A and B are shown apart, each in its own frame.
Chain A
Amino acid sequence: MWTYTKKLQYPVRIKTTNPAMAKIIMTQLGGPDGETGASMRYLHQRYSCPYDEITGVLTDVGTEELGQLCYQ
């Protein structure tokens, strides 16, 4: 299970809003190749892994991808 850490992974401060950029970001986050889908795929592939190293990598990468979602 996951722990929420109350900080951003990288400090971001938005000085000016930019709808075009927001649209690009939403595509990156959602959508077929987006972060959300990617993290879910990584996290679900863990269960059928024959090797521990791979399970570890999938867990960590999936968690990191989840962390990248937390900019909203």
Chain B
Amino acid sequence: MDGSKNAMYVQAGRSMSRSRVTERPAARAAESKPVAMAAPQFATVPATNTIPVREPVMIPARISALEPSPAPASVPVQEPVSAPVPAQGLAPAVMPEPARAHVPSPAPVQEPVSAPVPAQGLTPAVMPEPARAHVPSPAPVPVPMIEPAAAEMEIVLPPLPSLPVIPPPVTESDGCSLLAMAFMEIQEWQGLYEPEHGFSRGTIFEDLDLPFMGEGACRRE
């Protein structure tokens, strides 16, 4: 698979073999001597370039002649996170644990065991996605991925204009990138319960006093 890997880097402009020969001007300026190894090159690459915004497609030779209009917006290796995040008060998929980790309270012999999780409506509001996913900006119609057989692989680069324009990720000055944003109403300091009542309801905020839904939830009003 070395050949294909090189092809991807060719497209993104960062060929592993290339970097030994052709150094980036910025990197060259930063170093007094040209460095023969590939590793230090990557160390000086600024954060915006570590994640390629567009990955090329491996197109089998026979397809390359076709009009490449359905160029895939995203590549198998990275799943887009922006499965539409509902805007109104629902936790995005990044935090499934609090919603499911509750003991259904059942038989009258036992008082509820699980303590409240006030995190339901609150935490995802400012929580960026754990550093895994790469979110493209509004992608066009998702297109089926072309998975060519390895045997017929030919390194053909699709013409660039047909690819969607995805801006590079926003980079903060300290080098960390904005990966995802969750949208949710800001919680206000309102609707407070008395502590004892809140204790039995599981939260002191009326806004967060919501019923458990879904499988495994016991209704116990």
Which A positions have Cβ atoms within 8 angstroms of B?
9-16, 18, 21, 24-25, 28, 33-35, 37-38, 41, 45, 48, 50-51, 53-54, 57-58, 61, 64-65, 67-68, 71
Residues of A within 8 A of B107 (CB): 18, 21
Contact A10 B111 (CB under 8 A): yes
B195 neighbours in A (Cβ, 8 Å): none
Interchain CB contact under 8 A, B176 and A57: no
Binding stretch for chain A, among B7-15, B21-29, B115-123? B115-123
* Least CB separation from B111: chain A residue: A12
Q: Are A64 and B115 in contact (CB under 8 A)?
A: yes
In the assembled complex, the Cα of A37 lies from the Cα of B186 at a distance in Å of 28
Task: Say what secondary structure dominates the interface of chain A.
Answer: helix
Chain B neighbourhood of A13, CB < 8 A: 111
Q: Which residues of B contact A51 (CB under 8 A)?
A: 126
- B115 and A68: CB pair below 8 A? yes
Chain B residues packing against A (C-beta within 8 Å)? 96-98, 100-104, 106-107, 109-115, 117, 119, 122-123, 126-128, 130-131, 172, 174, 176, 199
Contacts of B113 in A (CB 8 A): 10, 12, 25, 71
Assess whether A38 is in contact with B97, with CB atoms less than 8 Å apart: yes
Docked-complex contact B119 and A57, CB < 8 angstroms:
yes
A14 to B199, CA, bound (A): 19
Inter-chain CA distance A34–B97, complex, in Å, is 7
Given A33-B97, A50-B176: A57 and B127 interface contact (C-beta under 8 Å): yes
Tell me which residues across on chain A come within 8 A of B112, comparing CB atoms. Answer: 10, 12
Distance of B113 from chain A, by nearest CB (Å): 6
Chain A nearest CB from B31 CB (Å) reads 29
B130 touches A45 (CB 8 A): yes
Known: A33-B96, A53-B126. 9 other contacts (CB 8 A): A10-B112, A10-B199, A13-B111, A34-B101, A38-B97, A38-B98, A57-B126, A64-B115, A64-B117
Report Cα–Cα, A57/B123, bound state, in Å: 7
A21 to B107, CA, bound (A): 9
Sample of 26 A–B contacts (CB below 8 Å): A9-B115, A10-B111, A10-B199, A14-B109, A14-B110, A18-B107, A18-B109, A21-B107, A24-B104, A25-B103, A28-B102, A28-B103, A33-B97, A38-B97, A50-B128, A50-B176, A54-B126, A54-B127, A54-B128, A57-B123, A57-B126, A61-B117, A61-B123, A64-B115, A67-B115, A68-B115
